Amino acid sequence: MPPQSRTKTWVLVVLVLLLVVVGGVSYLGWRQSVPGVTSLAAPPRTIGQKTVVKLALEARRGNIARTEVRLVQAGRAVVALRQEGAFGRRVEVPVTLESAALGLREGGAALEVWARDDFWRPLRFDERPIASHPITVDLTPPRIDVLAATRYVSPGGAGLVAFRVTGAARATVSAGTREFPSFAYGAPDAGTRVALLALPWDVPPGTPLGITAQDEAGNIAARGIPAELKPRRFPTDTIEVKDSFLRLKVPELLPQRPPSQPLLEGFLVVNRDLRRQAEAEKLRTGRTTAEKPLWHGAFAQPRNTKVFANFAETRTYLYAGREVDRQVHYGYDLASTKQSPVPAANAGVVAFAAPLTIYGNAVIVDHGWGLQTLYAHLSRIDVKVGETVEQGQELGRTGTTGLAVGDHLHFEVLVHGVSVTPLEWWDAKWIRDRIAKPLREAGLPAISGAEGTDEPEPAPPAPGARRRAR
Ligand SMILES: [Zn+2]
């Protein structure tokens, strides 16, 4: 081999070796540079007696091989979660932190997330947490002090509870499984709140009434409301469904009905499904309410009207002598002359003004704190949603729209969308005894025109005793 080509071979060999070394080193360098597991979610800033923290972790390469959550307080670390195994590239792990079991005390702490992937790297450094979050451990539940409440409440009725909450910004009251909001009332920062309770007409005896408050850390406090649930009876009625009525009303209320569907079947769709839709709309509208009372004094019943159907009347519907349906009537039917003016029962803001299935053209006026009044079967609506109305202001005219036979006003009082008897709110004495009095006892401002007295609250009349509408 001539010396020239020998030199060439050596150069080639050196070049290839160099390439192998450079390639190998940069490959290892790349392996080393691949970032480890990253944490995608931050925990809540405050944890309570029992808090669920959702971890979201992602590995850039390989799979997540180990996950650990540690809580560090005063130099002491406790492991709240440890998981090992291949979990895939992305994992979401809920971690339940029970402060007592972990030995945590009130105050500052750090929540550390440790995680490792199974991606091979040439060098392993000392492990560090992939994320560390400062948190506050808050183990003190909010405090609820009941200040005053309506002493006697009844099915299909309302009540008021005034209370003070310390350490929570939100509190709800409940009647059985139904929950209602409460509203800050009185001096700011005093923590005093007021809630109206609605008892559905069919609330079972012994239904618990309570207050629940929850703080940011998830600590919960609960208190019972010292009110006595007194029974109340409601009337029943039988309604005969005539063909002439079906021919008139079913096409109006069910325009998309296939022509092959018998009228009675169409009527049952209206009386069941459309009625349910209207109930759902009432509950929805009940949630848009002013955070302060807009009403004053007793609610007004339209003058010179005749009551021909009562609140919570169970109606049995007969067709050709056979029972076809049973429904509950949630309002008062008030008849006067045709197309009579419909006055607002009290001051408020219009919360709903549109056709509402069986109710026909309907208006709902919001009086604040979840208290609302509903006016149905109107021939004409003269107000718009958002409009402020005074007591007695004309909302529209009576009519026969919806599931109505003769011209009349169907009137309801709603508390958080639940129908209650208007008899209570039409009665100035009832408002004084059951609403104004607990406000006064709690040292809260009175509602104008509804000031409380110190007289003891009278017990309600015995069940079954007739109370006539004025
Ligand atoms: Zn009615």
Instruction: Report the separation in Å between the CA atom of 414 and the middle of ligand 1, taken as the mean of its atom positions.
Output: 14
Instruction: Report the separation in Å between the CA atom of 156 and the middle of ligand 1, taken as the mean of its atom positions.
Output: 16
Instruction: Report the separation in Å between the CA atom of 331 and the middle of ligand 1, taken as the mean of its atom positions.
Output: 6
Q: What is the pLDDT of residue 464?
A: 42
Domain count within the chain: 3
Judge whether 451 lies within some domain: no
Judge whether 23 lies within some domain: no
Instruction: Report the separation in Å between the CA atom of 412 and the middle of ligand 1, taken as the mean of its atom positions.
Output: 9
User: Residue 271: which CATH number?
Assistant: 2.70.70.10
User: Residue 133: which CATH number?
Assistant: 2.60.40.10
Beta carbons within 8 Å of 144's beta carbon, 6+ residues apart = 163, 164, 165, 171, 211, 213, 221, 222, 223
Judge whether 13 lies within some domain: no
Q: Which residue has the tokens 């995680």?
A: 115
On whether the pTM is more than 0.95, the answer is no
Taking the C-alpha atoms of 334, 339, 344 and 348 in order, what is their torsion angle to the nearest 10 degrees? Answer: 130
Please indicate, yes or no, whether residues 208 and 69 belong to a single structural domain of this protein. Answer: no
Quote the tokens at residue 176. Answer: 């059985």
Instruction: Report the separation in Å between the CA atom of 177 and the middle of ligand 1, taken as the mean of its atom positions.
Output: 27
The count of residues in the chain is 470
Instruction: Report the separation in Å between the CA atom of 332 and the middle of ligand 1, taken as the mean of its atom positions.
Output: 6
Please indicate, yes or no, whether residues 328 and 354 belong to a single structural domain of this protein. Answer: yes
Instruction: Report the separation in Å between the CA atom of 420 and the middle of ligand 1, taken as the mean of its atom positions.
Output: 14
Boundary-marking domain end, from 79, 112, 137 = 137
Please indicate, yes or no, whether residues 148 and 133 belong to a single structural domain of this protein. Answer: no
Instruction: Report the separation in Å between the CA atom of 108 and the middle of ligand 1, taken as the mean of its atom positions.
Output: 60
Instruction: Report the separation in Å between the CA atom of 236 and the middle of ligand 1, taken as the mean of its atom positions.
Output: 14
User: Residue 160: which CATH number?
Assistant: 2.60.40.2470
Q: Which residue has the tokens 């008897």?
A: 421
Cα–Cα distance for residue pair 402/270, rounded to 1 Å? 10
Please indicate, yes or no, whether residues 333 and 388 belong to a single structural domain of this protein. Answer: yes
Instruction: Report the separation in Å between the CA atom of 302 and the middle of ligand 1, taken as the mean of its atom positions.
Output: 15
Instruction: Report the separation in Å between the CA atom of 309 and the middle of ligand 1, taken as the mean of its atom positions.
Output: 7
Please indicate, yes or no, whether residues 258 and 350 belong to a single structural domain of this protein. Answer: yes
Instruction: Report the separation in Å between the CA atom of 178 and the middle of ligand 1, taken as the mean of its atom positions.
Output: 25
Beta carbons within 8 Å of 397's beta carbon, 6+ residues apart = 339, 340, 341, 342, 378, 379, 380, 382
Instruction: Report the separation in Å between the CA atom of 23 and the middle of ligand 1, taken as the mean of its atom positions.
Output: 87
Please indicate, yes or no, whether residues 173 and 209 belong to a single structural domain of this protein. Answer: yes
Q: Which residue has the tokens 């492991």?
A: 79
Cα–Cα distance for residue pair 332/311, rounded to 1 Å? 6
Boundary-marking domain end, from 210, 229, 248 = 229
Alpha helix (H) ranges present in 367-433? 422-426, 428-431
Residue 202 DSSP label: T
User: What range does the domain containing 333 cover?
Assistant: 236-421
pLDDT digits (tens, 9 = 90+) for 378-406: 999 999 999 999 999 999 999 999 999 89
Instruction: Report the separation in Å between the CA atom of 424 and the middle of ligand 1, taken as the mean of its atom positions.
Output: 18
Please indicate, yes or no, whether residues 126 and 194 belong to a single structural domain of this protein. Answer: no
Q: How many CB atoms lie within 10 A of CB 281?
A: 18
Cα–Cα distance for residue pair 45/54, rounded to 1 Å? 13
Judge whether 298 lies within some domain: yes
Please indicate, yes or no, whether residues 197 and 315 belong to a single structural domain of this protein. Answer: no
Instruction: Report the separation in Å between the CA atom of 410 and the middle of ligand 1, taken as the mean of its atom positions.
Output: 4
Please indicate, yes or no, whether residues 291 and 257 belong to a single structural domain of this protein. Answer: yes
Judge whether 342 lies within some domain: yes
Q: Which of 63, 92, 251, 226 is nearest to 147 (CA)?
A: 226
Please indicate, yes or no, whether residues 181 and 157 belong to a single structural domain of this protein. Answer: yes
Q: Are strands 322-329 and 236-240 parallel, antiparallel or unpaired?
A: unpaired
Instruction: Report the separation in Å between the CA atom of 428 and the middle of ligand 1, taken as the mean of its atom positions.
Output: 24
Question: Maximum Cα–Cα distance for the chain, whole Å?
Answer: 130
Cα–Cα distance for residue pair 362/358, rounded to 1 Å? 10
Beta carbons within 8 Å of 304's beta carbon, 6+ residues apart = 336
Per-residue model confidence as pLDDT tens for the chain (470 residues) = 677 788 889 999 999 999 999 999 999 999 998 888 999 988 889 999 999 999 899 998 889 988 999 999 999 999 999 988 767 899 888 999 999 999 999 999 999 999 999 888 988 777 889 999 999 999 999 999 999 999 999 999 999 999 999 998 789 999 999 999 999 999 988 999 999 999 999 999 999 999 999 998 989 999 999 999 999 999 999 999 999 999 999 999 999 999 899 999 999 999 999 999 999 999 999 999 999 999 999 999 988 888 989 999 999 999 999 999 999 999 999 998 999 999 999 999 999 999 999 999 999 999 999 999 999 999 999 999 999 999 999 999 999 999 998 999 999 999 999 999 999 999 999 999 999 999 999 999 999 887 766 566 566 554 443 433 33
Please indicate, yes or no, whether residues 216 and 360 belong to a single structural domain of this protein. Answer: no
Please indicate, yes or no, whether residues 72 and 120 belong to a single structural domain of this protein. Answer: yes
